[in-house]
């Protein structure tokens, strides 16, 4: 038998471990996480297929049908202007998700690279960037949003974009900080040193090697941020900034409905429960993701 020099390595390939199987197992371990995922999927379906699912046009006024209680014709009743609450709820999902995803995207695109650059270069770069982030974090989110909203109105930007920009700016430091911390620990690994020894450019190291390894905590952060952002959007709409009427937004619906606290409780209960449920869902799914990706992050995120 001719013995090839590589005989040794050929026979000893370890069994291909299924990362997916392990991930799925840990993720679905808790019923709560599965429940959260179901809620999110439902919300996604509602948002995407809103025109098909909503029984009525959410903007259609029904002067003769104001403030009706839930009935077979209007499952959740109607509001002050005669609009069907259920339809507005479904379209509200669209608004909420849009705000959530776009804000997360924008703040991520800005905050994550800032964090990587600060963590990688250290020194003055790090100081400048992180202190800027600290400064931004000093402002309470809602206050910042109010100020930005006022400023943006000067430039005739209003409505949903005010909310999105305000929220994005407020959340950028969160991404920068987490990324910065993760970058610091990834930087210590030998494979980063190997890159330098090979002659990799800084860009290559940061974006081809550090960033991909920083994803697990970032994905968890993003998921949890989505919940927080939707809540914030609701808060802003409630305060009157943000989605202008007649836009359907859950926060605005609660604002409208709380005047009818006792008489038409569905008006504020429906959107309120929707908000609570969705935020809860995002949080539990975020937890599940964190545990499945890296349980060592418990306590950190």
Partner 1 sequence: MPSTPGSEAYSSDEEKSMAELLKVENLKTQFHTESGVVKAVDGVSYYIDEQEIIGLVGESGCGKSVSQLSVMQLISTPGKIVGGEVIFEGQDLLKYKTHGPKMRSIRGAKIAMIFQEPMTSLNPVLTINQQLTEMLELHLKMSKKAARERAIELLGMVGIPSAHNRIDDYPHQFSGGMRQRVMIAMALSCNPRIVIADEPTTALDVTTQAQLLELMKDMVERFKASLVIVTHNLGVVARYAQRIYIMYAGRIVEAGTTKDIFGKPRHPYTIGLLKCIPRLDEEEDRKLVPIKGLPPNLINMPPTCAFLPRCSYKIKKCSQKPWPPLTRLHGQHYVGCYVNTEEMRNEPAAR
Partner 2 sequence: MSPRQDENILDVRGLKMYFPVTRGLLQRKVADVKAVDGVTFTIRRGETLGLVGESGCGKTTVGRCVLRLYQPTAGQILFEGEDISSLPESKIRHIRNNIALIFQDPYSSLDPRQSAGSIVGEPLKIHHQWVGSRSEYNNRVEQLFRLVGLDPSMADRYPHEFSGGQRQRIGVARALACEPSLIVCDEPISALDVSIQAQIINLLEKLQAGIKGLTYLFIAHDLSVVKHISDRVAVMYLGRIVEITKSKTLYENPLHPYTKALLSAVPIADPFVEEKRERIILKGEVPTPLNPPPGCSFHPRCFMAKPECSQAVPPLHDVGGGHEVACFRV
Contact footprint for partner 2 (CB under 8 A): 5-6, 8-10, 12-14, 16-17, 189-191, 193-194, 196-201, 204, 209, 212-213
Q: Which of 2, 6, 12, 262 binds partner 1 (CB under 8 A)?
A: 12
Q: What whole-number distance in Å separates Cα of residue 185 and Cα of residue 242? A: 39
- DSSP one-letter string for 52-100: HH-SS-TT---GGGTTPPP-SSSTT-B-TTS-BHHHHHHHHHHHHHHHH
> Using an 8 Å Cβ cutoff, are 56 and 78 in contact?
no
The yes or no reply on residue 6 touching partner 1 (CB under 8 A) is no
User: Min. distance of Cβ 125 from partner 1 in angstroms?
Assistant: 33
260, containing H or E segment:
none
Compute how many residues bind partner 1; rule: CB under 8 A: 7
Residues 6+ apart with CB under 8 A from 41: none
Cβ contact 218:177 at 8 Å: no
Beta carbon of residue 5, minimum distance to partner 1 (angstroms, whole number): 11
Residue 22 or 153: the one with the smaller Cβ distance to partner 2 is 22
For partner 2, the closer of residues 3 and 31 by Cβ is 3
**Residue 262 interacts with partner 1 (CB under 8 A)?**
no
Q: Is 2 in the site for partner 1 (CB under 8 A)?
A: no
3-state secondary structure of 78: strand
Q: Least CB distance from residue 18 to partner 1, whole Å?
A: 11
| Residues engaged in binding partner 1 (CB under 8 A) | 7-8, 11-12, 14, 22, 25
């Amino acid at each position: 038998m001719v013995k090839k020099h590589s005989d040794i390595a050929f026979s000893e390939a370890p069994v291909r471990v299924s990362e997916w199987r392990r991930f799925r197992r840990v993720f679905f371990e808790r019923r709560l996480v599965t429940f959260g995922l179901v809620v999110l999927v439902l919300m996604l379906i509602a948002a995407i297929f809103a025109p098909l699912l909503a029984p009525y046009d959410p903007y259609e006024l029904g002067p003769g049908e104001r403030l009706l209680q839930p009935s077979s014709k209007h499952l959740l009743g109607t509001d002050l202007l005669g609009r069907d609450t259920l339809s507005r709820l479904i379209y509200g999902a669209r608004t909420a998700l849009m705000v959530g995803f776009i804000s997360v995207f924008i703040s991520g695109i800005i905050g994550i690279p800032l964090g990587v650059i600060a963590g990688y270069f250290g020194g003055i770069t790090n100081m400048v960037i992180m202190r800027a982030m600290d400064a931004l974090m000093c402002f309470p989110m809602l206050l910042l949003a109010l100020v930005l909203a006022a400023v943006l109105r000067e430039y005739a930007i209003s409505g949903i974009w005010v909310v999105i920009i305000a929220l994005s700016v407020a959340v950028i430091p969160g991404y920068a900080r987490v990324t910065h911390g993760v970058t610091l620990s990834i930087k210590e690994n030998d494979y980063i040193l190997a890159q330098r020894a090979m002659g990799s450019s800084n860009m290559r190291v940061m974006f081809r090697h550090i960033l991909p390894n920083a994803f697990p905590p970032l994905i968890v952060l993003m998921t949890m941020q989505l919940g927080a952002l939707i809540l914030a959007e609701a808060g802003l709409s409630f305060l009157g900034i943000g989605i202008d009427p007649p836009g359907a937004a859950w926060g605005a619906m609660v604002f409208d409905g709380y005047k009818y606290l006792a008489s038409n409780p569905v008006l504020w209960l429906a959107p309120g429960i929707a908000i609570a449920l969705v935020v809860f869902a995002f949080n539990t799914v975020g937890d599940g993701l964190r545990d499945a990706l890296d349980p060592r992050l418990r306590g950190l995120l």
